[in-house]
Structure 1
Amino acid sequence: MKRLTLLALKLFLVVTLVSCGGVSDLPPIENERQFGEYLLGPGDEIRVTVFGQPELTGSYLVSDSGQVAVPLIAGIEASGVTADNLAERIAEELRSAEVVLEPSVSVEVRTYRPFFILGEVAGPGRYPYESDMTVLTAVAIAGGFTDRGRRDLFEITRARDGTTLQGQAGPEVRIQPGDVIRVLERYF
Structure 2
Amino acid sequence: MKRFVHWMMATMLMLAAGLAANVADAGEVLLGPGDVVKASVYGSPDLSLETRVSESGGMTFPLLGNVQVGGLSVQQAEKKIGGLLEKGGYLKKAQVNLLVTTLASQQVSVLGQVNRPGRYPIDGTRKVLDLLALAGGIGVDGGDMVTLVRNRNGSVSRETIDVVDIVRKGELNRDYEVAGGDIIFVERAPRAYITGEVNHPGAFRLERAMTVQQAVSAGGGLTPRGTQRGLRIVRRGADGTMQTIDAKTDDLVQTDDVITVRESWF
TM-score strictly above 0.5: yes
Is the Cα contact below 8 Å between 1:44 and 1:61 reproduced in 2? yes
Is the Cα contact below 8 Å between 1:155 and 1:183 reproduced in 2? no
In the alignment, what sits opposite 1:77? 68
User: More deviation in 56-65 or 168-177?
Assistant: 168-177
Q: Secondary structure at the match of 1:55?
A: helix
Normalised to the residue count of structure 2, the TM-score between the two structures is 0.46
- Cα 1:61–1:164 change in 2 (3 A) is farther
Q: Which structure ranks higher in relative contact order (CA pairs < 8 Å, sequence separation ≥ 6)?
A: 1
* 1:179 equivalent in alignment to 2:182: yes
- Residue in structure 1 matching 2:59, options 63, 68, 71: 68
- What's the CA shift for 1:118? 1.8
Please list the CA deviations of residues 152-183 of structure 1 after superposition, one character each: whole Å capped at 9, or x if unmatched: 43313255xx4455342454535444432222
Q: How does 1:142-153 map to 2 (within 5 A)?
A: 142-153=135-146
Q: Distance in 1 between matches of 2:25 and 2:58?
A: 21
- Residue in structure 2 matching 1:135, options 128, 139, 152: 128
- What's the CA shift for 1:116? 1.7
Could you tell me which runs of 5 or more consecutive residues in structure 2 were left unpaired when the two chains were aligned: 1-20, 164-171, 192-266
Aligned residue pairs total 156
- Cα 1:126–1:65 change in 2 (3 A) is same
In the alignment, what sits opposite 2:103? 112
- Cα 1:109–1:117 change in 2 (3 A) is same
Is the Cα contact below 8 Å between 1:43 and 1:64 reproduced in 2? yes
Is the Cα contact below 8 Å between 1:118 and 1:182 reproduced in 2? yes
Q: Secondary structure at the match of 1:145?
A: coil
Higher strand proportion: 2
Q: Distance in 1 between matches of 2:57 and 2:41?
A: 21
* 1:91 equivalent in alignment to 2:82: yes
In the alignment, what sits opposite 2:230? none
Could you tell me which runs of 5 or more consecutive residues in structure 1 were left unpaired when the two chains were aligned: 1-30
- Cα 1:149–1:175 change in 2 (3 A) is same
Normalised to the residue count of structure 1, the TM-score between the two structures is 0.61
In the alignment, what sits opposite 1:41? 32
Q: Distance in 2 between matches of 1:141 and 1:102?
A: 41
- What's the CA shift for 1:63? 2.7
Please list the CA deviations of residues 56-94 of structure 1 after superposition, one character each: whole Å capped at 9, or x if unmatched: 234433233222222222211111112222112212322
Share of identical aligned residues, percent?
Answer: 28
Q: Secondary structure at the match of 1:156?
A: strand
- Residue in structure 2 matching 1:54, options 45, 54, 57: 45
Q: Distance in 2 between matches of 1:103 and 1:177?
A: 31
Is the Cα contact below 8 Å between 1:158 and 1:180 reproduced in 2? no
RMSD: 3.4
